[in-house]
Chain A
């Protein structure tokens, strides 16, 4: 860890002001900015201790919870403030009742201690757990050090991605909640020096492509303030299935967030998110299209799974992941269809 300055913002305006400096604006990416926001700290402090992130200033935004710490559910949908703690969102009655996929994605993540600390805004920005990214003694990591190569491509990569990868980076997005947001077509509120903007959640993260070090479409200094999940007839029939080597406290090898609007067994509308094995929070429009108008059966679920992984790219130890991903999605869809709501 390197020395840094700690600032405490009492409101949003002050937070934005503290984060808006000439050097911050010039940073190549939001994650590379010398000023970083600090909420729960469960990712940032960890990465600072292992020398992967070296911000000069931390702006503590926990006092913004008054402005951005609310959970609200109404006919239009669900509003989640960015400073809501994971544990609070997971236990909220409206979330549990009307958005079970979101509740489960949070319940199945991390540990109670981490869920009590981590904010939703920070959670979606959790960075990859790729071991080569997290160990600065590996020179080759295009995400950490642009242009240096990718040690994971032919290395230990069982936990990494097969969807959305590029020949520069195969790191996976490790979180869960974001996959449910992507599936349900959520939007994200962003405040920055130039004011407020709303982005489709699917557009928040970027695919690695040629620039894996630029992980999101946030400009340096921009701050996530909340999420909105549109209401829909599918949200109540939704779930999050997470497959991993142990029962709890582990990142997904494969996960699926699915929501179904059924008409007597026929899919009127489907929402499909995938996680654990994708470069960013993943919505499979291909799977959704394959399901639309079809009876939800083993065969149609399998066809949707085939469509979801048609473009999967494997490297070494990830060879099993498209098959695991397909099976995870099939299981999730059949389980979702059988839900009693």
Chain B
């Protein structure tokens, strides 16, 4: 299969296709987890802590219990022993909730009120009085009482060291030494963090939007001491995840316990502000970058040290130095990351978790260095471009970074840029152009699927895949139709249910690579079965032929010279009903039992930065124009151009939307988003989407996306690099660089706000 990686003539892969679930979504037919019909559900409402550190001395529940319709109030005193503590996004211990009287962070679940109606549960929750023994919390960096922990290389993160970066920096003719900061951010997907739990004897069904169906299933089974076969998770659609629905959270097990106690299904729809603390977020980061260079622009030294906030018990971190060390040719590299423990909830995955906060300082520093050297920022990247991984010398599976820069620069009109900061104006508006490198590691995991094909030419593929808004159903239909020679409409896709064969969680942009490669493998098994039967048949046009030479196309088995046997004939030879295969795909470099582990809810991943054979990343270049009013300094970004090269693109229509959404989020990340923390009490203050800003339509103007063609035969059989996250990565630095170009002011802390430029 490797020799026809990705697209092939006449196939569906690479052709734009509207979403097969689009009509269902826009007509309200698509069933999100909280929409699943349940019989006579009771409603849960969460009581969350109003302090960030301390203990619960007691609770006054009488007034709450007196509210008509209240059925139960779960708290540490009555259910604390009923669940095992959950694990964090990294699979290691994290903050607890009702297991004890300990309060680890602001907004921690401290009680669950269950009532006949949502309204009664909410009213009662407002009447719960919690008596705290408060301790002084530590909010964030520089708060008294935080504890820093230097990280060591583990299975998912490394801290590359090469040569002697300190000495090379000291001796470098040109130096750049700067510190940068990125803020706390929350995903705020439109769909809230709902959970509905239904018991049927020993069997528990959980309807919950998730990016990890089997991960959630295994986590809840462990917490409640249930056999895996007795837990089913259902999430046919998720209303946005962005990483926030990637890891299991505490709430699920408690809703299951509540449903067991009240002997009814229990449904939880938490509030927007509760989503800020009962789920995860992107932690604030700090960075120290040192770049040493020759006057020619060639890098001599790169040092990148990062600090990230986490909770007290969890060392969850993103450690984007794994990426930044691999961007540019450089003989001397030093990286280091520390987690800083504070009295906060545990952070987690958020779109391009390591790369968004860590590429920001590197790409700003490159822009600063270019300015210092008097070299065009694009040319500085070209001078330091490389086709081998600067850390260990492995080849990139493919790297089209400069093609992306050149395509985007041409479309953007970079040549019109006067390099002098503050030199471009339009009336009262200062105009700035900025650019930055974008990248994302190309990850792939083991996956399983079931595929059937009928003589009538109808295929059905089933897998516990995740549609979080990315177009995952359509992706499957396109690949199966392409490989079986059918129309996309002939493929039925069933996903979103843990009763189906497991796939990895939808994260790290692995979904397309993992699920399409297993689907293609399943198609190949069916083709092989049909071909083998055809050549072994006593009669028929392919009797005695080489089965490898038979392909599926246009509803037929097609041989050399274009000889065709209709699909009906070929399939009927094996079955008059349907032929079905169950297939497991374990990508190169993973343990042979990686697929078996999926059935235990354990996921392994071949990570693009850590492969033995090649280093696999998708690359891109992002350009943006900003305008800053010369008096009032509001910052607007009226146009942007992004070019990406990410191997095979299965559905350009969906990919365009993904890239564009990422780029918009990058602008948001640079100019709008920040969770504000009251440092005195370690509490989130703007925990609503009126005050937590994201761009509105009026903030986003022209938004061009360029697909730079790239064929990658090494990354995986279909040549697919994930594209879910790369769109956001370079944009925050591009905006900051454009602000510098517009104003001459270098702002190294995000988001950039009016007051930074007054």
Interface residues of A (CB under 8 A from B): 1-3, 51, 129, 131-132, 137-138, 151, 154-156, 158-159, 243-251, 253-254, 319-320, 323-324, 327-328, 330-331
Q: Are A156 and B632 in contact (CB under 8 A)?
A: no
Partner of A331, one of B631, B676, B686, B691: B631
- Chain A: minimal CB distance from B692 (Å): 11
Question: Contact between A246 and B758 (Cβ–Cβ < 8 Å)?
Answer: no
Q: Find out whether the CB atom of A327 lies under 8 angstroms from the CB atom of B123.
A: no
Contact present for B632 and A250 (CB under 8 Å): no
Q: Name the residue of chain A whose CB is nearest to the CB of B690.
A: A129
Measured CB to CB, the closest approach of chain B to A298, in angstroms, equals 10
Known A2-B126, A155-B680, A331-B631: A246·B754 in contact at CB below 8 Å: no
Asked if B489 is at the interface of the complex by the 8 Å CB criterion, the answer is no
CB distance from B132 to the nearest CB of A (A): 11
Count contacts between A and B, CB distance < 8 Å: 81
Instruction: Map CB proximity to A onto B670-708 as digits: 1 under 8 Å, 0 otherwise.
Output: 011000111010000110001101011111000000000
A253 to B756, CA, bound (A): 14
B122 to A1, Cβ gap below 8 A?
yes
B479 to chain A, nearest CB (A): 39
* A-B interface, 8 closest residue pairs, ranked by CB to CB distance from nearest: A137-B50, A320-B755, A247-B698, A248-B698, A156-B685, A156-B676, A331-B631, A131-B685
Q: How close is A20's CB to chain B, nearest CB, in angstroms?
A: 28
B 280-298 to A, binary, CB cutoff 8 A, 1 in contact else 0:
0000000000000000000
Of the residues B671, B699, B758, contact of A327 by C-beta under 8 Å: B758
Given contacts A155-B680, A156-B678, A246-B695, contact A324 B632 (CB under 8 A): yes
Q: Which residues of B contact A2 (CB under 8 A)?
A: 123, 126
B119 proximal to A (CB < 8 A): yes
Q: Are the CB atoms of B126 and A51 closer together than 8 Å?
A: yes
Q: Chain A contacts of B72 at CB under 8 A? A: none
Decide: B632 and A327 in contact? CB cutoff 8 A.
Answer: yes
* B753 close to A (CB within 8 Å): yes
Instruction: Tell me how far the C-beta of B525 lies from the nearest C-beta in chain A, rounded to whole angstroms.
Output: 52
Cβ–Cβ < 8 Å partners of B697 in chain A: 248
B residues near A129, Cβ cutoff 8 Å: 690-691
B634 near A245 (CB under 8 angstroms)?
yes
Write out, one digit per residue, whether chain B residues 202-241 have a CB within 8 A of any chain A CB (1) or not (0).
0000000000000000000000000000000000000000
Residues of B within 8 A of A254 (CB): 632
Q: Which residues of B contact A155 (CB under 8 A)?
A: 678, 680, 685
Nearest-neighbor residue (CB-CB) of A110 within chain B = B690
Q: Cβ of A247 and Cβ of B672 under 8 Å apart?
A: no
Bound-state CA distance A323–B50 (Å) is 35
Query: What residue in chain B is nearest A159 (Cβ atoms)?
Result: B691
B636 within 8 A of A: yes
Residues of B with C-beta under 8 A to A138: 50
Docked complex: B590-643 residues within 8 A CB-CB of A: 629, 631-634, 636
C-alpha spacing A3/B124, complex, angstroms: 11
Given A129-B691, A137-B50, A324-B632: A247 touches B122 (CB 8 Å cut-off): no
Contact B754 A320 (CB under 8 A): yes
Contacts of B632 in A (CB 8 A): 243, 254, 324, 327-328, 331
Of A151, A156, A246, the contact of B696 (CB 8 Å cutoff): A246
Q: Could you jot down 8 A-B contacts, CB within 8 Å?
A: A1-B123, A51-B126, A156-B686, A245-B634, A245-B671, A248-B696, A320-B755, A320-B758
A-side contacts of B686, CB under 8 Å: 131, 156
- Chain A: CB-nearest residue to B671: A245
Inter-chain contact A246/B755, CB cutoff 8 Å: no
Q: Which residues of chain B are within 8 angstroms of A245 by Cβ–Cβ distance?
A: 634, 671-672, 693, 753-754
Determine if B693 and A246 form an interchain contact, defined as CB atoms under 8 angstroms apart.
Answer: yes
Q: How far is the CA of A327 from the CA of B755 in the complex (A)?
A: 12
Residues of chain A with a CB closer than 8 A to B631's CB = 327-328, 330-331
Q: Which of B691, B693, B695 has the most CB of A within 10 A?
A: B691
Q: Which residues of A contact B758 (CB under 8 A)?
A: 320, 323-324, 327
The minimal Cβ–Cβ distance linking B121 to chain A, given in whole angstroms, is: 11
Would you give the shortest CB distance from A309 to chain B, in whole angstroms? 13
Q: How far is the CA of A2 from the CA of B629 in the complex (A)?
A: 46
Complex formed: what's the CA distance from A250 to B672 in Å? Answer: 11
The residue in chain A whose Cβ has the minimal distance to the Cβ of B634 is A243
Instruction: Collect the chain A residues with CB atoms within 8 Å of residue B680's CB.
Output: 154-155
The complex places the Cα of A29 from the Cα of B631 at a distance, in Å, of 41
Report the Cα distance A13→B695, complex, angstroms: 45
Complex alpha-carbon distance, A151 and B683, angstroms: 12
Known: A156-B678, A156-B686. A244 touches B696 (CB 8 A): no
Complex contacts, B754 vs chain A, CB 8 Å: 243, 245, 253, 320, 324
CB distance from B755 to the nearest CB of A (A): 4
Give the Cβ gap from A170 to chain B, nearest Cβ, in Å: 14
Contact A324 B123 (CB under 8 A): no
Q: How far is the CA of A330 from the CA of B686 in the complex (A)?
A: 30
Q: Which residues of A contact B693 (CB under 8 A)?
A: 245-246, 250
Taking the closest CB of chain A, its distance from the CB of B669, in whole angstroms, is 13
Residue of B nearest to A251 (CB): B690
A246 with B691: in contact, given A155-B678, A324-B758 (CB under 8 Å)?
no
Which residues of the partner chain A approach B428 to less than 8 Å between Cβ atoms?
331
Whole-angstrom distance between the alpha carbons of A51 and B632 in the complex?
A: 37
The answer for the CA separation of A308 and B299 in the assembled complex, in Å, is: 53
The closest CB in chain B to the CB of A317 belongs to B755
Separation in Å of the A134 CB from the closest CB of chain B? Answer: 8
Contact of B126 with A324 in the complex, beta carbons under 8 Å:
no
In the complex, how many angstroms separate the beta carbon of A117 from the nearest chain B beta carbon?
16
Interface centre among A243, A246, A253 (most CB of B within 10 A): A246
Min Cβ gap A98→B in Å is: 27
- Smallest Cβ-Cβ distance to A111: which chain B residue: B696
Cross-chain contact A324 with B755 (CB below 8 angstroms): yes
Q: Is the CB of A247 within 8 A of B696?
A: yes
Contacts of B691 in A (CB 8 A): 129, 131, 159
CB under 8 Å from chain A, chain B span 423-479: 428
Q: Report the bound CA distance from A138 to B678 in whole Å.
A: 11
CB-contacts of B720-758 with A (<8 A):
753-755, 758
A1-B122, A159-B691, A250-B693 given; A244·B634 CB < 8 A: yes
Q: Say how far B728's CB is from chain A's closest CB, in angstroms.
A: 18
Which of A1, A151, A246 meets B699, CB within 8 Å?
A246
Instruction: Report the bound CA distance from A9 to B290 in whole Å.
Output: 70
Select from chain A the residue with minimum beta-carbon distance to B677: A156
User: What chain A residues lie within 8 Å of B636 (beta carbons)?
Assistant: 247
Contact across chains for A249 and B634 when beta carbons are under 8 A apart: no
Residues of chain B with a CB closer than 8 A to A132's CB: 685
| Residues in chain A near residue B698, CB distance under 8 A | 246-249
CA distance A254 to B636 in the complex (A): 17
Instruction: Report the separation of the CA atoms of residues A159 and B754 in the bound assembly, to the nearest whole angstrom.
Output: 12
Partner of A249, one of B50, B676, B685, B696: B696
Residue of B nearest to A330 (CB): B631
Query: What's the Cα separation between A63 and B633 when bound, in Å?
Result: 45
